[in-house]
């Protein structure tokens, strides 16, 4: 641990039992901060920087408090070393808890009231408020505003953090959802830090991977699952995710309304099985019940409940899900679900009892731009690779409004109740433009094939293809051509102009979610192939 000597203003390093008593600074970063390399490089006049004021005042206060050393994140961490930064962030809560005293510097006081200070909006200052046993608040002129103990009720009112936690109580007594709610209105400059600033709150250690964005918060939740048997982690709501989502939240903001969620750990009919993170999603052993008359939507009963004045015995909360993939080869009792309506938590009575089921819930919605719950999706997984010198171009994708070229997908809302096939037309013009060759491929499915409660292999999808040579493309009636095709093949071959085109359609699981895919393969009629799959 690196500390600033209050007498010499030099940095010194200590390890283990040799670490002296020290004061620690908490602050919201400003412009012109004094940094580690400013202190260590003799040619830098760091005392002229705006950030030196709070460092100097911290040293003066520490000396008055009988302490010779101060720690501040701006100067005591070499942030150019990723290893040192990772160690420091994973140790931060412990360092604040072990300090003799913490000085919270609120640079926007006295111009603002205490509750309006930016210090209360920053992610890192949450643990810096909770961890220290003694904490004093100072304004920009270093005038004391009070201590944590004298402002206890005010701090709870401003931050929502329980006074028991502020007094140094064991944080394991608070549910995961409640601790997440403490950070729900806080921000960090870097997206990853909203996860890293909570490591100490949850007593979690994990590597830092700057650049991973919101995945840092996903990783934090995965680590929490390993350490906590607490399903309140899944009792969050968000209006920002659209119709479907993963089981895990994207940020603490989703827990804004979850402070009253607590796990139900008493043994009884609602006791659920262990939670595990797998490649198929989050594995749960939970009661699952049908939620709609059609049997397409289900309720996963969570082993947690809200605490409120109106609390009713046996009340629990659940999340609404739909099956997104039932994969061939796995027991029929094991299904993969995706959460829908992430803006809702369903409150219900745990009676009657239901048996536990092993289910997998997608931890993230990797296909966020594709609402596979609301849309029929057909992915053209492989486009034809035409023989050299005989290339065709994609002339039409019909209906055009359903085609998305960037992802080579057709999609349309299930609510449209539209059974028209999707059509691809590949065209090649003769050198003298006297005739035009067309491969016409139709892709479709019986309506039941797209219903979310069907198994992946339970639906009926089909494909067909034909070849046409015409003098004028405008003379082709694509609707009539497609209507004449049979609709019961999952693979078909068609030959034209010395080329054989083969189409295969099958259900496909992408990031745990079901889509239907088509592979278009070609070879010369003489046997040479440009495709392998």
Token pair for residue 196? 């890293």
pLDDT tens figures, 11-36: 999 999 999 999 999 999 999 999 99
Cis, bond preceding 399 (omega within 30 deg of 0): yes
List, as one string, the DSSP characters of 461-517: EEEEEEEEEES-GGG--HHHHHHTS-S--SEEEEEETTEEEEEEEEEEEETTEEEEE
The pTM assigned to this predicted structure is 0.81
Counting other chains too, the contacts that 107-116 makes at CB distance below 8 Å and 24 or more residues apart are 107/27, 107/28, 107/30, 107/54, 107/139, 107/140, 108/140, 109/139, 109/140, 109/145, 110/139, 110/140, 110/141, 110/143, 114/145, 114/151, 114/154, 114/158, 115/154, 115/157, 115/158
Structural contact between residues 471 and 460, judged by C-beta atoms closer than 8 angstroms: no
Domain boundaries, the chain: 2-169, 261-361, 375-524
Spatial CA neighbour of 134 closest among 106, 164, 100: 100
Which CA distances in Å does 78 have to 47, 81, 97, 266, 267? 19, 6, 21, 47, 49
375: closest CA among 323, 451, 487, 298? 451
Whether the Cβ atoms of residue 165 and residue 174 lie closer than 8 Å to each other: yes
How many angstroms from the chain centroid is the CA of residue 209?
15
Which portions of the chain are predicted below pLDDT 50?
A: 267, 327-332, 449-458, 532-533
DSSP string, 110-177: TTS-GGG-GGGGBSHHHHHHHS-SSEEEEETT--EEEETTTTHHHHHHHH---HHHHTT--GGGS-HH
Task: Determine the pLDDT at residue 466.
Answer: 95
Give the Cα separation of 398 and 421 in Å (integer): 8
Reduced to 3 states (helix: H, G, I; strand: E, B; else coil), residue 350 is coil
Q: Which residues of 146-166 are buried (b: 16+ CB within 10 A; e: fewer)?
A: eebeebeeebeebbebbeebb
What would the pLDDT profile of 51-72 be if each residue is shown by its tens digit? Answer: 999 999 999 999 999 999 999 9
What string of DSSP letters covers 392-448? -EEEEEESGGGEEGGGTEEEEEGGG---PPEEEEEEEE-TTSS-EEEEEEEEEE-GG
């090649």: which residue's tokens?
428
């Amino acid at each position: 641990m690196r500390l600033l000597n209050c007498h010499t203003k030099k940095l010194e390093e200590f390890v283990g039992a040799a670490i002296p008593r020290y004061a620690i600074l908490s602050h919201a970063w400003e412009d012109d901060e004094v940094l580690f390399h400013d202190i260590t490089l003799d040619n830098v006049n760091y005392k002229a920087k705006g950030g030196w004021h709070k460092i100097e005042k911290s040293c003066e206060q520490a000396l008055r408090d009988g302490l010779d050393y101060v720690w501040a994140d701006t100067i005591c961490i070499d942030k150019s070393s990723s290893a040192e930064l990772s160690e420091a962030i994973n140790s931060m809560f412990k360092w604040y808890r072990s300090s003799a005293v913490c000085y919270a510097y609120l640079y926007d006081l006295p111009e603002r009231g205490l509750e309006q200070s930016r210090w209360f909006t920053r992610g890192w200052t949450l643990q810096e408020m909770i961890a220290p046993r003694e904490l004093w608040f100072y304004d920009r002129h270093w005038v004391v505003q009070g201590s944590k103990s004298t402002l206890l009720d005010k701090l709870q009112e401003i931050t929502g953090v329980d006074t028991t936690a502020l007094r140094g109580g064991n944080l394991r007594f608070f549910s995961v959802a409640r601790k997440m709610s403490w950070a729900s209105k806080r921000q960090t400059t870097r997206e990853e830090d909203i996860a890293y600033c909570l490591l100490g709150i949850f007593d979690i250690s994990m590597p830092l991977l700057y650049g991973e964005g919101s995945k840092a918060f996903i990783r934090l939740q995965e680590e929490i699952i390993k350490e906590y048997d607490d399903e309140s982690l899944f009792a969050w709501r968000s209006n920002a995710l659209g119709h479907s989502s993963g089981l895990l939240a994207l940020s603490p903001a989703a827990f804004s309304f979850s402070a009253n969620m607590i796990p139900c750990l008493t043994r009884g009919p609602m006791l659920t099985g262990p939670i595990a993170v797998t490649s198929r999603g989050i594995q749960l052993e939970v009661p699952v019940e049908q939620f709609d008359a059609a049997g397409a939507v289900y309720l996963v009963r969570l082993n947690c409940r809200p605490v409120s004045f109106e609390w009713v015995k046996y009340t629990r909360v659940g999340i609404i899900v739909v099956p997104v993939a039932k994969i061939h080869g796995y027991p029929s009792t094991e299904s993969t679900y995706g959460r829908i309506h992430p803006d809702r938590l369903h409150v219900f009575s745990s009676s009657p009892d239901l048996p536990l089921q092993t289910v997998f819930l997608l931890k993230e919605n990797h296909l966020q731009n594709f609402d596979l719950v609301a849309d029929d999706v057909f992915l053209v997984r492989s486009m034809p690779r035409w023989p050299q010198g005989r290339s065709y171009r994609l002339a039409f994708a019909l209906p055009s409004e359903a085609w998305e070229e960037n992802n080579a997908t057709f999609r349309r809302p299930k609510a449209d109740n539209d059974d028209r096939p999707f059509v691809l037309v590949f065209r090649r013009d003769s050198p003298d433009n006297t005739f035009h060759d067309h491969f016409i491929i139709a892709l479709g499915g019986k309506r039941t094939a797209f219903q979310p409660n069907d198994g992946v292999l339970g639906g009926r999808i089909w494909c067909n293809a034909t070849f046409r040579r015409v003098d004028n493309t405008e003379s082709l009636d694509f609707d009539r051509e497609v209507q004449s095709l049979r609709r019961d093949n999952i693979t078909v071959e068609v030959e034209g102009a010395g080329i054989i085109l083969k189409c295969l359609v099958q259900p496909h699981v992408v990031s745990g979610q079901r889509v239907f895919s088509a592979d278009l393969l070609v070879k010369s009629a003489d046997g040479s192939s440009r495709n392998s799959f």
